[in-house]
Structure 1
Amino acid sequence: MKKKRFTEEQIVCFLRDAETSTINKAARQHGVSEQSFYRWKRQFSQMEVTDVRELRQIRQENVRLKKVLAERDLEVEVMKELQAKKW
């Protein structure tokens, strides 16, 4: 997975700075393109830092639950195969 240059918390802070000044000025100040600001604004426009942290925790939990479900499905398939065989 590609390492991101900025964390979500930093991005939200950048967006708050951009609200007080122009996007062009904020982009130059933080060293990113204007397009990045517009993309971030579309993704994180109404979020606060705490919301972003919650979102990250929910995503991590979702990944963990998907792994658990995949393992459980694999176990079920193995048990079905064992029952289908005649000893």
Structure 2
Amino acid sequence: MEQRFSEARIIGFLREAEAGMAVKDLCRRHGFSEARHYLWRSKFGGLEVSTPSG
């Protein structure tokens, strides 16, 4: 099954919420549910996006 959002984008969404954006507004802006946000937070919370060194 193809994912709509990459892991890097999901982590970016989580960082926006951590920076103070309201979860409701974040979800509305990017088109996913609050339930999905909390699921992602439990799965990806605390992860960093790895960048290729180069």
Name the TM tier (shorter chain).
0.7 to 0.9
- 1:27 is matched with which residue? 27
- 2:4 is matched with which residue? 5
Q: Percentage identity across aligned positions?
A: 39
- List gaps (5 residues or longer) in structure 1: 51-87
TM-score relative to the length of structure 2:
0.84
TM-score relative to the length of structure 1:
0.54
Structure 1 Cα separation of the partners of residues 27 and 38 of structure 2: 10
After the TM superposition, which segments of 4 or more aligned residues of structure 1 sit over 2 Å from their partners?
Answer: none
Q: Which amino acid aligns with 1:9?
A: A
Cα displacement (A) at 1:18? 1.3
RMSD: 0.7
The answer to which structure has the higher helix fraction is 1
